C-alpha cells in the first residue's frame, strides 16, 4: 500500500496538489465569487416590492429584450458564418490566408469604443455602407439592427477559434470512407462532419452570447441609445450608477446575471447531450 501511494505521488504531473487547489480557490473567490456576492448583498438591501419595481419597469424590460435578443441573434449568425470561416481556413489554401486568419482576431485586439465608432461611421446614413442601404429603406445606425451587427462583430472570433481546432483534428479518413461507400457530399457533411463539430459550435455560441450580453463600448455609439427602442441593459446600468441609484443598478445586474446563467446552463447541457450522442 505504501509503495502504491509513493508511486501515485511520484507520478503526479504537478506536485503540491493541496497548495495548488487552495490557491486556485482563493484566486477564483477573489476575482469572481466576492464581486458577485457583493452584487447580491447590495441588492438584498432592497425590499421585494422595490426590487420588482426596479427590474420590471417598461424601459428596463425593453432593454432586456434588446440585449438578450440581439445577443442571441448575433451568436446564431456567428454559428453559421463563423463555422463557414473556420471551414475555409482549415480545408482550403488560397493567397492571403494568413492575413484572413489574422483578421479573425481583430475584434479581440480592437478597442471596443473604436469598433463602435467605426461601425457607426460605416452604417450611418452618409457612411460607406449606410448610404447604399438608406435608399432601400434599410436603416442600420441608431436602430436595433445596428446593435445586432455590433454584437455579431465582437462575437465572431469566439466561434471561429473554437471550431477551427476541431476541424483540424478531424479524421479525413472517415470522410473518405463515407464517400467510398456511396455517401453524397451532403450526407458526408450531415452524418460524419457535423456531429463532431456540433459541440464546438455550441461552445462558440455560448461564448459569443456571453460576450455579447455584457458588451458596452462597441454598442453605445451605433445603438443611438433611444429609450424603449435601442437602449441596451448595460447602458441602463451605467445610467443608474450616474444617478447614484446603486441598488437599482445592482438589481438589474442580478437579473442579467441570473438569466445569462440559466441560458448558459441550458447551452452546456445541450452541448453535453450533443457530445454524448456524437460518441455513440
CB-based contact 223:146 (threshold 8 Å): yes
Residue with cell 453524397: 184
Residue 78: name the closest of 116, 102, 107 by CA: 107
Spell out the per-residue pLDDT of the chain, length 280, in tens. 445 445 544 555 555 777 788 888 888 888 888 888 888 888 888 888 989 998 999 999 999 999 999 999 999 999 999 999 999 998 888 898 899 998 998 888 888 888 889 999 999 888 889 888 888 888 988 899 999 999 999 999 999 999 999 888 877 777 777 777 777 778 777 777 788 888 889 889 988 998 898 888 889 888 888 888 888 999 888 888 888 888 989 999 999 888 888 887 887 787 777 677 666 5
Domain limits, the chain: 13-44, 47-279
CB count within 10 Å of CB 243 equals: 10
Q: Does the CA dihedral 277-203-143-53 come out positive or negative? A: positive
Q: Select the CATH number that applies to the domain covering 47-279 from these four: 3.90.226.10, 3.30.565.10, 1.10.3720.10, 3.20.20.140.
A: 1.10.3720.10
Residue 63: name the closest of 189, 237, 198, 228 by CA: 228
Amino acid at each position: 500500500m505504501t509503495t502504491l501511494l509513493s508511486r501515485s505521488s511520484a507520478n503526479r504531473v504537478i506536485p503540491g496538489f493541496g497548495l495548488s487547489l487552495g490557491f486556485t480557490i482563493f484566486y477564483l473567490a477573489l476575482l469572481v465569487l466576492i464581486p458577485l456576492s457583493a452584487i447580491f448583498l447590495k441588492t438584498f438591501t432592497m425590499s421585494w416590492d422595490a426590487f420588482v419595481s426596479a427590474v420590471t419597469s417598461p424601459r428596463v424590460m425593453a432593454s432586456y429584450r434588446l440585449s438578450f435578443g440581439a445577443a442571441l441573434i448575433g451568436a446564431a449568425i456567428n454559428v453559421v458564418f463563423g463555422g463557414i470561416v473556420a471551414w475555409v481556413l482549415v480545408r482550403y489554401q488560397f493567397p492571403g490566408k494568413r492575413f484572413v486568419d489574422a483578421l479573425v482576431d481583430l475584434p479581440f485586439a480592437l478597442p471596443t469604443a473604436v469598433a463602435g465608432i467605426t461601425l457607426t461611421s460605416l452604417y450611418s446614413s452618409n457612411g460607406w455602407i449606410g448610404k447604399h442601404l438608406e435608399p432601400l429603406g434599410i436603416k442600420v445606425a441608431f436602430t436595433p439592427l445596428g446593435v445586432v451587427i455590433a454584437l455579431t462583430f465582437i462575437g465572431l472570433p469566439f466561434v471561429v477559434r473554437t471550431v477551427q481546432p476541431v476541424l483540424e483534428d478531424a479524421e479525413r479518413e472517415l470522410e473518405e470512407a463515407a464517400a467510398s461507400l456511396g455517401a453524397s457530399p451532403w450526407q458526408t457533411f450531415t452524418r460524419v462532419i457535423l456531429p463532431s463539430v456540433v459541440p464546438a459550435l455550441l461552445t462558440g455560441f455560448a461564448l459569443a452570447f456571453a460576450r455579447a450580453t455584457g458588451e458596452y463600448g462597441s454598442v453605445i455609439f451605433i445603438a443611438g441609445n433611444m429609450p424603449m427602442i435601442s437602449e441596451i441593459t448595460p447602458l441602463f446600468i451605467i445610467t443608474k450608477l450616474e444617478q447614484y441609484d446603486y441598488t437599482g443598478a445592482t438589481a438589474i445586474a442580478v437579473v442579467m446575471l441570473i438569466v445569462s446563467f440559466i441560458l448558459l446552463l441550458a447551452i452546456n447541457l445541450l452541448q453535453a447531450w450533443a457530445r454524448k450522442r456524437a460518441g455513440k
